[in-house]
Amino acid sequence: MDSMTAGPDTGFAELIRRQRAFFAGGATRDAAFRREALRRLKAGLAKHEPGLLAALRADLGKPEAEASLSEIAPVLMELNLAIRNVFRWSRPQRTKTPAALFGARSRIYREPYGVVLIMSPWNYPVLLALRPLIAAVAAGNCAVVKPSELAPNVSAALARLIADVFPPEHAACVEGGVETGEALLEQRFDYIFFTGSPRVGRIVYGKAAANMTPVTLELGGKSPCIVAEDADLRLAAKRIVWGKLLNAGQTCVAPDYLLVHRRVKDALVGEIQACVERLYGKDMLRHERFPRVLNDRHFRRLAGCLQNARILYGGRIDEVALRIELTLIDEPDRDDPVMQDELFGPILPVLAYDDLADAIRQINERPKPLACYVFSESKAVRERIIRDIPFGGGCVNDTVIHLSNPHLPFGGVGESGIGRYHGKAGFELFSHQKKHPRADDPF
């Protein structure tokens, strides 16, 4: 069984049974076994990298340099970190014991959950399939990976990679569409890790509840970017443009709307326009380094957002190439479609504010975002935003790059997700913590 391309009733129960039997044999509990599996995955990543890059180009139009930077390099960083630390992370951890239990010793033992399901999305299909897989394997689990059918070439390339590295009883890739995902969710897993939209996340959460299965949901939301009056506008424009146009805006932590102090709004718009033209010339729709929108359905949704919009900059589209140039929309109403759901494309609403308290209030009236960004030279402003706005993670005077640091736990809060991973946090996520009592220890 190399990989599975399946309808709803094909072989899932048998695959999971085989993984449970393998897990019960105890091999994955050995840290040396885990490290060797991670080393094989690292070697497999190098071997399959050309195929993965070609698949990313075919499915998403990603230039090789961008795909290497945003998909392959973070996976390699995650692998190296796990390989170096899996022994240390796996050791029992001594912890304090209260005086009332004098004579006892207290330790935390981390054990794998068992067989886990990883459901990954289409926008970063390599990164968001392999990063949780690394954490699951490092923690000693067996895994079933279900890539998105919306990136079919990457799905097939991932299936080849995983089959080349792991025996299917340890880790397997299951390809297929919505019916396949639904059928997998009918099975009993020991942990479910899902990355995708809040709408589908609710479905996954409901299915997991039926079996009392713990779950991590990596979702999204409307991530704000605040530009204060004292911000370095040239720097802000450069980093907003980079973060927004990475993968043509199809990034869960991309800035989704700008809240700009009214006194610097026009100047910031001018700096953004100048930055775009430095990077992409006068016609970014024709630039070879600019990825496309995933498919016709997503393109039509985004193009519809431009109808009747007050456009500050941009607005041109290419229906054949499925490209939309960076478009700044001026002061959309709160009930406008561009202010309702996550845009997931190269469209950026721009709203002015006069008072920081009002900007914070506008953000907090919405569901808690996955990311929040602030551009300001004022320590007081930065600390106030960090203190007063609940969000998953973010940056000061930058965008997006926080997710590239494997030492920072990554995840959402509320509507934007449940649970955090990356680096050691990912190992902890896929590990159950228990106290293993000794004969001379009180319970």
Output phi, psi for 312, to 5 deg: -85, -35
| DSSP H helical ranges for 109-213 | 127-138, 152-165, 178-185, 198-210
Output phi, psi for 22, to 5 deg: -65, -45
Catalytic residue among 252, 305, 372, 395: 252
Which amino acid is present at 156?
A
Distance between CA atoms of residues 379 and 382, nearest Å: 5
Output phi, psi for 253, to 5 deg: -105, 15
Strand-pair category, 142-146 with 191-195: unpaired
Region of 327 (left: φ > 0; alpha: ψ -120 to 50; beta: rest) is: beta
CA atoms within 13 A on the CB side of 376: 20
Region of 399 (left: φ > 0; alpha: ψ -120 to 50; beta: rest) is: beta
Catalytic, 277? Answer no
Distance between CA atoms of residues 201 and 226, nearest Å: 28
CA atoms within 13 A on the CB side of 92: 11
Cα distances from 415 to residues 170, 367, 370, 418, 419, in angstroms, run 32, 6, 8, 8, 12
Pick the closest to residue 346 from 325, 376, 360 (CA basis). Answer: 325
Catalytic, 179? Answer no
Catalytic residue among 78, 169, 218, 342: 218
Strand, coil or helix: 139: coil
Strand-pair category, 171-175 with 4-5: parallel
Q: Which residue has the tokens 């995983």?
A: 162
End-to-end CA gap in the chain: 45
Cα distances from 108 to residues 95, 425, 435, 440, in angstroms, run 7, 16, 5, 16
Distance between CA atoms of residues 301 and 354, nearest Å: 32
CA 333 to chain centre: 29
Cα distances from 74 to residues 44, 393, 411, in angstroms, run 15, 17, 16
Distance between CA atoms of residues 240 and 235, nearest Å: 8
Strand-pair category, 431-434 with 106-112: antiparallel
Residues designated catalytic: 218, 252
